Structure 1
Amino acid sequence: MNSFISATQDPAVARVFSGMGENLQPDEVSVIYEMTIDTNIRSTPYAKIDTINPDEQEILFSIGAIFKIEKIDQLSANIYSVKLTMTHIDDELWNKLTAHLN
């Protein structure tokens, strides 16, 4: 698959792209993901491309990036924040999960 996950370093830009809970169907919510990236993890390629469009401060992650959910907060009735930490394939919890699913 030739796809990427697009993210921004600017919380204001993230809120705009989330829709900020507006114009949603009754069963929909907006979600803002806050990612913590360990620059020592080399198993998943990612690139800062903020030189292309400085206003967005964009980072692209390879589709194979693995993130661990650390915390989910409800910011309002229809807006959630999910805190993620980038991990790698050798992560102990990841290995247990994949072993269980296989």
Structure 2
Amino acid sequence: MLGLEKAPRGTAGYDFTDANGRRVQVKTKVPHTAWSDQLVKILYVSNLKPDLADDLIIAYRDKESHWRHIGPVAIADLPSRPHKAGPRYFLKDIINIISSSICGR
């Protein structure tokens, strides 16, 4: 759907490559029944491999059970927040990065 090529089975740190050879890590999120602005504020992604992947795509199912995605966005551009289990990347920050890059064009 996004023109990505699946990485070989067992590849560490990324799931796909794009047409430019960038390594893409895909994280799936299952929204709660009330997918809302409040959920966007608290939803986060962890366990990213910024040393092994270039870009991030978040795939999720919307209220109507259609698959949607956010990104791709360069992992290097994402602000992380420290956590005892490792850095967390919050969805609202990811959306802000994407919005600012679209508006800045």
Q: What TM-score, normalized to structure 1?
A: 0.29
- Which structure: greater strand fraction? 1
Which structure is larger by alpha-carbon Rg, 1 or 2? 1
